[in-house]
Amino acid sequence: MQQGVLIYCFDTPEVSYHKVANVSMSLVREYLDLPITVITNHATLSSWQHRPEANFVIIENATNNTKLGLPWHNLERCEAFDNSPYDRTIVIDVDYLCFSDKLKSLCNSRHDFLIHDQAHDVSQRQVLTYERMAMLPLVWATVLIFSKTERVRRIFGAVKLVKQNYHHYCNLYRINYKNFRNDYAFAIALNQINGYHGYDVIPDSIATLPHDCQVLSRDHHGLNYRYLNNVNRITCQDVHVLNKEFANV
């Protein structure tokens, strides 16, 4: 059974996501030692002066979603089942940095679909609370691990349906976040496919470094960051870094 990592990467006028991907992929190769497939577009690929070793697939991505008024190209994740060439796939956000082999261990589990249902702010300010933003528990589509089973095909099919009718589902589940968000789309799909009886989750919380934390330096074991006057280090732990300037450090 072939295992591999799938990454979606689309530059925007504000962020050179391909530079972020370079950092992420170097850590995937070191800690997970798995083949990588990158889903990107022509414009992003043309900006990649030194392409890392990976399988690049060119698509014309949708561009009609925004976050805080800026372009947010996040509408393709529901196609991961079809886009992945692997029997067992790890999908990660381009700004998710692996400083351990945890995801490879999870890839060998018996579950055909895994997702996080918890995330925490490593600066300990509790800025990732969304309990009152919807009528259903949130999941975090930052990391997906799945096999190509019929049940998983139905999950991704349900996510596509949610995406096509997102405003209807926002009204149905009283979701306050009106721009399309994969976290809510997968939460709705999983609840419906599993008959609201729960589903398998990754048994830990995503360590998340918020936008206002500045990455000062990084190496292959972790990174140093500053929030206000405090400097801390994250080491030997995977982390989702929301401030994309870390790619320039």
Q: List, for residues 111-146, the tens digit of each pLDDT value.
A: 999 999 999 999 887 656 666 677 888 899 999 999
Angle at Cα 203 formed by Cα 210 and Cα 130, nearest 5°?
Answer: 40
In a domain, 179, yes or no: yes
CATH at residue 130? 3.90.550.10
3-class DSSP state of 19 = helix
Average pLDDT, the chain: 93
- Give the pLDDT score at 133: 73
Q: Tell the burial category of 228 from Cβ atoms under 10 Å away from its Cβ (0-12, 13-18, 19+).
A: exposed
240 inside domain = no
The verdict on residue 247 lying in a domain is no
Segment 157-214, tens digit of pLDDT? 999 999 999 999 999 999 988 889 999 999 999 999 987 778 999 999 999 999 999 9
pLDDT confidence of residue 126? 65
User: What is the pLDDT at residue 1?
Assistant: 76
Q: Is residue 224 part of a domain?
A: no
* Number of Cα atoms under 13 Å in the Cβ half of residue 117: 15
Domain count, the chain: 1
Full domain range(s) for residue 151: 3-211
Q: Is residue 248 part of a domain?
A: no
What is the average per-residue pLDDT within 41-65?
91
Where is 8: in which H helix or E strand?
strand 3-8
User: What is the number of helices (H) and of strands (E) in the chain?
Assistant: 7, 15
Rounded mean pLDDT, 10-16: 94
Residue 70 covered by a domain:
yes
Q: Work out the pLDDT band at 151, boundaries 50, 70, 90.
A: very high
In a domain, 245, yes or no: no
Residue 131's pLDDT is 61
> Nearest Cα to 44, choosing from 33, 30, 56?
56
What pTM was computed for the model? 0.95
What percent of the chain lies above the pLDDT cut of 90?
A: 82
Residue 191: inside a domain: yes
